[in-house]
């Protein structure tokens, strides 16, 4: 299960350090460090390019002093690495790079036969949902996202919040096809080549598709 997936590509002309393709998280403490919403943002920024604490703080619109503790936590767990240092006004300034392009959580960490496994699953889900909630709120406040509930056909969909909570009643073969089509669609757009000259906007995508113990739609009372 991936907690961070990036489509960033290494640039040998700009990066002295090339992140690994994947970093596997196999202990609860490392998962707790990464699952924090602010640390998730730091890692995502450092996946795109090497950054100093001041550069990260500028993007996140936060004072650098608020980031030092989080940077230290990420570095101690090898989730980010120091890839360059330089002297600025007599002070050593470090550049940080994400250790990998993708971060995956080991399935064994979610083994529900132990209390640690249950805690691991809860930590990951809480971190992902909190980070997504915060990202949506920030985008709305920055007027990048239109969360108006009005159904207006004139509004561009590319500024909309597309969110839905459904229970699908599917036979196994249809569920298998749904999984495959969804994975293919995400891969198609994440690997799409876009000219650098074109206007681009980052989009957040959080997908949850899973067998549910909830009431099937066919069992719901009809109105």
**Beta strands 20-25; 80-88: pairing state:** unpaired
Q: Contact 68/137 with Cβ under 8 angstroms? A: no
Strands (E), the chain: 2-5, 20-25, 80-88, 91-98, 100-105
**How many percent of the chain have pLDDT more than 90?**
29
Least confident stretch, 73-77, 132-136, 154-158, 189-193: 154-158
CATH number of the domain located at residue range(s) 2-163 in this protein: 1.10.10.10
Q: DSSP states of 198-211 as a string?
A: S-------------
Is residue 16 over pLDDT 60? no
Q: Domains of the chain: which residue ranges?
A: 2-163
pLDDT tens, position by position, 136-153: 888 888 888 887 756 656
Query: For 194-211, what is each residue's pLDDT tens digit?
Result: 777 778 888 888 888 888
pTM of the model: 0.61
Can you name the residues that pair with 24 across neighbouring β-strands?
Answer: 104
């Amino acid at each position: 299960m991936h907690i961070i997936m990036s489509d960033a590509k290494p640039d040998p002309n700009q990066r002295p350090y090339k992140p690994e393709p994947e970093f596997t998280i196999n202990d609860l403490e490392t998962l707790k460090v990464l699952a924090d919403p602010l640390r998730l943002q730091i890692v995502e920024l450092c996946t795109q390019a090497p950054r100093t604490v001041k550069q990260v703080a500028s993007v996140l619109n936060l004072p650098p002093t608020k980031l030092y503790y989080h940077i230290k936590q990420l570095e101690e767990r090898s989730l980010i690495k120091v890839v360059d240092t330089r002297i600025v006004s007599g002070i050593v300034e470090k550049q940080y790079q994400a250790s990998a392009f993708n971060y995956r959580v080991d399935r064994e960490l979610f083994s529900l036969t132990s209390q640690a496994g249950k805690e691991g699953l809860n930590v990951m889900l809480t971190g992902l949902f909190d980070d997504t909630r915060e990202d949506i709120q920030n985008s709305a406040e920055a007027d990048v996202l239109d969360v108006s509930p009005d159904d207006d056909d004139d509004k561009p969909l590319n500024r909309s919040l597309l969110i839905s909570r459904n229970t699908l009643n599917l036979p196994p073969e249809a569920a298998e096809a749904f999984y495959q089509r969804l994975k293919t669609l995400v891969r198609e757009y994440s690997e799409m080549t876009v000219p650098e000259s074109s206007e681009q906007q980052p989009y957040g995508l959080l997908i949850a598709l899973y067998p549910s113990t909830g009431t099937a739609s066919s069992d719901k009372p009809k109105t």
